[in-house]
Amino acid sequence: MKRIVGMCVSASLLVLCVSAVSVAQPGGRGPGGFGGFGMFGGGGGLLSLAQDEAVRKELEILDDQVQSLQKASQEIAEKATAMGNAKVAELLLPHQVKRLKEISLQRSIRGFRGMTALTDPAIAAQLKLTDDQKKRIEAVSQDIRNKARELFSGGNREGGREKMEALGKERDEKVLAVLTADQKATLEKLKGKPFEGGFGGGRRGGDRPQRPGGEGAKQ
């Protein structure tokens, strides 16, 4: 019985722990953030394949069809995430669910998007971010993306890791500066105690923003 429950929990956690990196997805930002991560391969199967650029050209898929496919992918991802979260709530005890959400939030802000992940709907709602704050955070994100493009224009990769880590630190500091004192306190409560287990091989993606055209800078 324990083995069966463990398998179910593992399957549900997969839904919670797929990080949505918006700049890498053809359909834009997925339902990520606090308590659930969304876009896994654009929905999978034929739906995912139909959004491949080469396949779109082969099938002569029109722009409005692409938008419809992307919308369908997001809807499916949102439903899958909701189902996974509900299943976790059934299988785990309340204090386990609470801690899982804390770890989920920590994982989210340590991803390539860093503190800009706070604008994901579920997190933003918990922090009560205003529309103005969301716009300011998006402006920070855009500014960092522009700086990253400038750093690596012409294929220059010298000192790439250090540069990207510095940009990531700058981004997160600027996002935190947008929050009020109460929001910062709420964020710390939502994060809970630091998770020491590591996230996927111990790499801290949150130390650096995503580099244009790839996941990170190489030496």
Distance between CA 178 and CA 155 in Å, rounded?
A: 33
Count Cβ neighbours within 10 Å for each residue of 12-29 and write b for 16 or more, e otherwise: bbebbbbbbbbeebebeb
Q: Along the 219 residues of the chain, how does pLDDT read in single tens digits? A: 444 444 444 444 333 333 333 333 333 344 444 544 333 333 468 998 999 999 999 999 999 999 999 999 989 988 998 999 899 999 999 999 999 999 999 998 888 889 999 999 989 999 999 999 999 999 999 999 999 888 877 776 777 788 889 999 999 999 999 999 999 999 999 999 999 887 654 444 444 454 444 444 443
pTM, two decimal places: 0.62
Write the DSSP symbol of residue 42: G
What does the alpha-carbon distance between residue 109 and residue 207 come to, in Å, rounded to a whole number? 10
Tell whether the torsion through CA atoms of 100, 195, 172 and 165 is positive or negative: negative
Q: Could you say which DSSP state residue 207 is in? A: G
Instruction: Please provide the distance, in angstroms rounded to a whole number, between the alpha carbons at the two ends of the chain.
Output: 48
> C-alpha angle 159/163/165, rounded to 5°?
125
